[in-house]
Chains A and B, each alone.
Chain A
Amino acid sequence: MELLVLLYALSTLYFLLMVWKWVGAKRDQECYILDYECYKPTDDRMLGTKFCGEIITRTKNLGLLECRFLLRAIVSAGLGEQTYAPRIMFSGREDNPTLLDGISEMEEFFEDCIANLLSRSGISPSEIDVLVVNVAMLSSVPSLSARIINQYKMRDDIKVFNLTAMGCSASLISVDIVKNLFKSYKNLFALVVTSESLSPNWYSGNDRSMILTNCLFRSGGSAILLTNKRAMSNRAMFRLKCLVRTHHGARDESYGCCMQKEDEQGRVGINLGKTLPKAATRALADNLRQISPKILPMRELVRFMVVNLARKMNGSSSEKTTGAPKTKVNFKTGVDHFCVHTGGKAVIDGIGTSLNLSEYDVEPARMTLHRFGNTSASSIWYVLGYMEAKKRLKKGDKVFMVSFGAGFKCNSSLWEVMRDMGDGNVWKDCIDRYPVKTSDNPFMEKYGWINQEMDLDPSTFKLVPDYI
């Protein structure tokens, strides 16, 4: 009989062991952000109003109408005087960029940002197991990820991926790759490096739908260190709760609204079509529809369903369909902070209305647009940095990130804050000046008169020469 008892005991123990391993494996699959660092270029790269005027006048191909269009764009863009431009703008060579310009711009960013991040978190480069780099507009041989591996002497069995051309939402796509890898492998450190290459992509023609990108994009980047090690969870800053990607490339208007092509003179630029806002709203609506069940509490979902049902029944019973406002989901029940991609003032306003956000909610995004401009894929990390610097993030808070990209994509994710945070990070030396009112900005002061200029007479039209 003793043998039998032993047999039973062994089987039960094995069964308990398997259950314990399975539970442990689930806990090891969490995606934590250990630390992140946003790039602050050196002050000699700041783009003020004076210099913007210089750039416009020296661009030979711009006619009168284009100048006016550009000035109007700059005035209402919501950018401040401290955004950063690539070095090539300051040497006047933006019409003839070389490959080296693009690469050195990226290397400057890698040397600064990644080194700071790794030294602050105490992780050595040889401990990194996964590296994902996304820089949309530069693809070189060897890839930028290979450059990082070479510079920091990372291991030879590293899993590395180099994503390009995925637009301003690419950093969440990189996080998606990392999240999936964390589910299959244990004890990994992952480094996500996201930035945008501006030097080789200055549009030197005069097609109006293409020159807008020249005004909006600014230099910036960020590096994020992620891990799924359980032991690191007490040092972690954020935990990923869910991530949803929506791709509307199947619709032709969504696909064609943001396309890189050649203009009539053969110059390459990014054409922003008129269907862009509509494509963005549609993609955002679809994405929210998918992510709301995952992030909102049950009572909000039930309330929404009940109200919608009641409204439908009311609407079907009465003959006239009045222009009653559609029921909106209250995202604030499940989300405390909103990281909105700083695509431009219109984008932030649009998302604010869709999600029913207050000025307080969109303040981080507006201030990031003012201070750093549209830094493409890394912008949401600057917005996150603002919230951290303003000490808004407390343990248990939920942060919602949403961004758009060419194609047309809308990606969003929900993060849970793991501990109270208050580090100044990239906003350290200017956070006390914020928030500022973006309606009175220096561009408006200097060039606001352009909005009143109805008919332009070439003989009298001159940019005020006080900056010479």
Chain B
Amino acid sequence: MPPSSPNFSSSVKLKYVKLGYQYLVNHILTLTLIPIMAGVLIEVLRMGPEEILNLWKSLNFDLVQILCCSFLIVFVTTVYFMSKPRTIFLVDYACFKPPMTCRVPFATFMEHSRLILKDKPKSVEFQMRILERSGLGEETCLPPAIHYIPPTPTMEAARGEAELVIFSAMNSLFEKTGLKPKDIDILIVNCSLFSPTPSLSAMVINKYKLRSNIKSFNLSGMGCSAGLISVDLARDLLQVHPNSNAVIVSTEIITPNYYQGNERAMLLPNCLFRMGGAAILLSNRTSERRRAKYRLVHVVRTHKGADDKAYRCVFEEEDKEGNVGISLQKDLMAIAGEALKSNITTIGPLVLPASEQLLFLLTLIGRKIFNPKWKPYIPDFKQAFEHFCIHAGGRAVIDELQKNLQLSAEHVEASRMTLHRFGNTSSSSLWYEMSYIESKGRMRRGDRVWQIAFGSGFKCNSAVWKCNRTIKTPSDGPWADCIDRYPVYIPEVVKL
């Protein structure tokens, strides 16, 4: 006898039970307040207006007392509001749209690979297999210097790429927000693998003639999660400096880091990393409250560097021939999962609704006291967030996170499509994903977005944003000309 029907009805019943439980626990305050208010109202109505007036007269207030009391109330309320932390607004952001001339379709990539690695057919084979399963599309871009055969990674070319990416993104940001260069108070630039002297932040200050008392910082080496580290730093600085604007530039300069050897673990980044960048404007000015797109709610950083395995899993080193490249270990996914778990344990209590936290607590108590064999309860993060931006590190990362957090295909669509259209653009990929969600018209006022990024070291950083106003589908931006083609179906293996 097929057991499907009873199971189906019981699962439906379970769903309603769960919904009812969530509603009960999340709104418990309202639910207890209503009977009390009702009781007070009935009592008042019963007493009648005469008795109420008598009660009021018996309190015997005089003018001085009333003034003192009201003054105290006003003062206490003001002090309370002043001691709250400042709200950080994300006014707007701009992503770099690479020119079509820098496009690297699979055919180009494989042809270059065969020409450069002509003595090592096994490595060419390896790169082809990676590309087939990578989840990248045919429109990802590499900087001009890498299109040469062999690539010409000079410092001149690297600076050229930096100028192209950063200045385009900044120009776009200035246009979108109407920001004047002289109004920038804080500038943070993060680029992991290219740090010329003077720094990229000095390059931005020079190009746009920013003020001489600007607070500038140049972070590097912090991997694909550096964008969120910059947001964390900007938030801490904006708490201390009132009425300020902070501009964050997140990018990764590919030119000097193209691996020219043939060690397999190091060829992997060549296949995945692509050109990209983003410029973000954060502010704590109350005048921005109306037009800001998002409000920053939380930033949580987790660093697993103390564990040796985590520390070694993304490592820059030289191969036997002296070529410098980044080697990715095989246990990367497991370590990412561990780091994510640590991050979730910190962020969970901050964002999950009371119902999920209670369930988690009960299961925890149950496991400790009653039976250790109970399965650990994985909180349902879909209750806490409407949108998820998972760093497009690679197909495996997105699959792993989708499994761990029990997300549906629609939740990870932004990440998968960004990986397909732009490749792994390192720290700026989160902003391409946000732009995707906006371009699809899915961002409504009050929606909560969770950005998660991993980085070398091993770090897992996450940021929570709340949408401030319903965002109209933007007419410009990196997705403007192709959003109608998305989402595309990405097969497991693209035969090359």
Task: Tell me if B232 and A176 are in contact (CB < 8 A).
Answer: no
Which residue of B223, B232, B317 contacts A99 across the interface (Cβ within 8 Å)?
Answer: B317
- State A149–B304 Cα separation when bound (angstroms): 9
Which A residues lie within 8 Å of B315 (CB)? 141-142
Q: Given A149-B303, A268-B155, does the pair A258, B316 have CB atoms closer than 8 Å?
A: no
Are A146 and B198 in contact, with the CB atoms below 8 A? Answer: no
Proximity bits, B203-228, A CB within 8 Å = 1, else 0: 10110111111111111111100000
Distance in angstroms between the alpha carbons of A243 and B112 in the assembled complex: 52
Indicate the size class of the contact surface on chain B: 35 or more
Contacts of B314 in A (CB 8 A): 141-142
> Are A249 and B205 in contact, with the CB atoms below 8 A?
yes
In whole Å, how far is A240's beta carbon from the nearest beta carbon of chain B? 14
Q: Contacts of A15 on B, CB cut-off 8 Å?
A: 72, 75-76, 79
Q: Per-residue 0/1 for B328-350: is the Cβ within 8 Å of any A Cβ (1 yes, 0 no)?
A: 00000000000000100010000
Number of A residues with CB within 8 Å of any CB on chain B: 73
- B30-80 at interface with A (beta carbon < 8 Å): 59-60, 65, 68-69, 72-73, 75-76, 79-80
Bound CA span A62–B211, Å: 41
A308 CB → nearest B CB, Å: 22
Q: Is the CB–CB distance between A158 and B236 below 8 Å?
A: no
Residues of A within 8 A of B59 (CB): 4
Contact of B322 (CB < 8 Å), options: A98, A156, A163, A246: A98
Q: Are A142 and B456 in contact (CB under 8 A)?
A: yes
Residue of A nearest to B306 (CB): A153
> B239 — which chain A residues lie within 8 A by C-beta?
183-184
A162-B219 contact, Cβ under 8 Å, with A150-B311, A247-B213? yes
Interface string of A237-281 (1 = CB under 8 A from B): 000000011111111100100111110001010100000000000
Cross-interface CB contact of A250 among B205, B302, B316, cutoff 8 Å: B205
Complex-state Cα separation, A184 to B84, whole angstroms: 12
Nearest neighbor of B155 in chain A, beta-carbon distance: A262
Set of chain B residues within 8 Å of A235, measured between Cβ atoms: none
The answer, among A136, A157, A247, for a CB contact under 8 Å with B197, is: A136
Least Cβ distance of A68 to chain B in Å? 27
Query: Is there a chain A Cβ closer than 8 Å to B192's Cβ?
Result: yes
User: When the two chains form their complex, are residues B197 and A141 in contact, meaning their CB atoms are under 8 A apart?
Assistant: no
User: Interface on chain A toward B: helix, strand, loop, or mixed SS?
Assistant: mixed
Q: Which residue of A lies closest to B73 (CB)?
A: A11
A115 within 8 A of B: no
Q: Does A417 count as interface, using CB distance less than 8 angstroms?
A: no
Q: Confirm or deny: B193 has a beta carbon within 8 angstroms of a beta carbon on chain A.
A: yes
- Alpha-carbon distance A250/B212, docked complex (angstroms): 7
Chain A residues within 8 Å of B346, by CB = 157
Residue from B201, B212, B217 in contact with A286 in the complex, judged by beta carbons closer than 8 Å? B212
Q: How far is the CB of A26 from chain B (nearest CB, A)?
A: 12
Q: Which of B441-464 contact A (CB under 8 A)?
A: 456-459
Q: Which residues of B contact A157 (CB under 8 A)?
A: 301-303, 346
> Closest chain B residue to A133 by CB distance?
B221
Given contacts A140-B221, A176-B215, A260 and B196 within 8 Å (CB-CB): yes
Contact A245 B197 (CB under 8 A): no
A7 to B70, CA, bound (A): 12
Q: How far, in angstroms, from A158 to B232 measured CA to CA in the complex?
A: 12
**A100 partner residues in chain B, CB cutoff 8 A:** 317-318
Cβ contact within 8 Å between A407 and B221: no
* Given known A-B contacts A142-B221, A249-B210, A261-B155, A180 and B199 have beta carbons under 8 A apart: no
Of residues 130 to 166 in A, which have CB atoms within 8 Å of B's CB atoms?
A: 136-137, 139-147, 149-150, 153-166
Hey, what's the 0/1 contact readout for A1-26 against B, CB within 8 Å counting as 1?
A: 10010011001101100100110000
Q: Identify the closest chain A residue to B197 (Cβ).
A: A260
Contact with B along A65-101 (1 / 0, CB 8 A): 0000000000000000000000000000000001110
Interface contact A143-B457, CB-CB below 8 Å = yes
Known A143-B221, A268-B155; contact A165-B196, beta-carbon cutoff 8 A: yes
Instruction: List residues of chain A with CB under 8 Å of any chain B CB.
Output: 1, 4, 7-8, 11-12, 14-15, 18, 21-22, 98-100, 136-137, 139-147, 149-150, 153-167, 173, 176-177, 180-181, 183-184, 244-252, 255, 258-262, 266, 268, 270, 286, 290, 406-409
Some 14 contacts from A to B, beta carbons below 8 A apart, are A1-B60, A18-B80, A21-B83, A141-B221, A165-B198, A165-B200, A165-B218, A166-B199, A167-B199, A247-B202, A247-B212, A255-B205, A270-B197, A406-B202
Chain A to chain B: the 8 pairs with minimum beta-carbon distance, closest first: A143-B221, A249-B205, A149-B305, A165-B199, A407-B202, A146-B457, A141-B316, A165-B195
